Amino acid sequence: MQLGVNVPNFGPGTDPGVLRDWARIVEGLGFDLLMVSDHVALTADVAERYPEPFYEPFTTLSWLAGATTRLRLGTTVLVLPYRHPLLVTRMATNLHQLSGGRFVLGVGVGWARQEFAALGLPFTSRGRLTDDHLAALRDTWPQTAGGHGTPVPIWVGGHSEAALRRAARYGDAWHPLRLPIERMRSVLDTHPLPGFAPRIALRLTGTPIHDPDRPAGVGSIEQIMADLDDLRRLGAGTVVLDPYHGDPAETHHPQAAWQALAAVATHRKAAR
């Protein structure tokens, strides 16, 4: 099982130097994948959680592809209705080619109603639009790839019944975001899915958390490593760790997240 990291590509403490440091540390610690988020119009509902500066994901990952050698690079998640599917196909395929086949396209339907309005898109039709765009991506991959390597892997986010059908029909993996392990276990037991690549929190505590509702990835290092082992047994090909907890001020102090990642990397290496 591979491990990835969701890196904040937004917030008042984030700049090109910090993004480069994130990539250097994630790759240096031996993680396998670096992912970033997506928003286009930073409307009030978006900016409250993900404020400026917000670095556009394709641009950011293209730049980081040149600053790394081994890391896979991806989106968690690209809001698919925001861009024409032919444009997404072109950008994703080119990034995949230029990075040596390292790109992963994680997609979702989006949640920010004001952002949809700012882009002139119908919020209530976002599920249908996502399905239409995924169908177009699947139709255009071979044509656009031009025979240069394999198509870009697609991870489909969401956990509604519609999202699970979408993942089964169009995806290479189901990519749930911050769900409890038991919820993911239940879904995997009842739905045939092409693959499993969850994103979970990463919040390291000094002592174990005994709350039965403890989220995956939150707790002592022993609890977090046990969570990763549970996800491996559930069939996860990749698990993405998300050290951002919703406070933009965190972006001024990435060292706490780096220390938590270092602890996971150390225990991972010791277990091999």
pLDDT tens column, 155-173: 999 999 999 999 999 999 9
d(CA 109, CA 12): 26
Read off the pLDDT of residues 78-99 as tens digits, 9 standing for 90 and up. Answer: 999 999 999 999 999 999 999 9
pLDDT given at position 141: 83
Report whether 64 contacts 23 (CB < 8 A).
yes
pLDDT band at 77 (very low <50, low <70, confident <90, very high): very high
pLDDT of residue 109: 98
Of the candidates 231, 130, 128, the one whose C-alpha atom is nearest the C-alpha of residue 178 is: 231
Task: Please choose, from the candidates 12, 133, 22, the residue with its C-alpha nearest in 3D space to the C-alpha of residue 73.
Answer: 22
Residue 148 has pLDDT above 60, yes or no: no
Global pTM reads: 0.96
Is the pLDDT at 144 greater than 80? The verdict is: no
| 205 pLDDT higher than 70 | yes
DSSP 3-state assignment of 53?
coil
Instruction: Write down the pLDDT at residue 31.
Output: 98
Domains observed in the chain: 2-146+154-271 (3.20.20.30)
In this prediction, what percent of the chain has a pLDDT beyond 70? 97
* Residue 110 per-residue DSSP state: -
Which pLDDT value is given to residue 39? Answer: 98
Query: Dihedral through CA 227, CA 243, CA 22, CA 61, nearest 10?
Result: 90
Contact by Cβ (8 Å): 9, 37: yes
Q: What is the pLDDT of residues 84-139, one digit of tens each?
A: 999 999 999 999 999 999 999 999 999 999 999 999 999 999 999 999 999 999 99
One-character DSSP codes across 222-250 = HHHHHHHHHHHHTT-SEEEEE---S-GGG
Q: Residues of the chain with pLDDT > 90: what percent?
A: 93
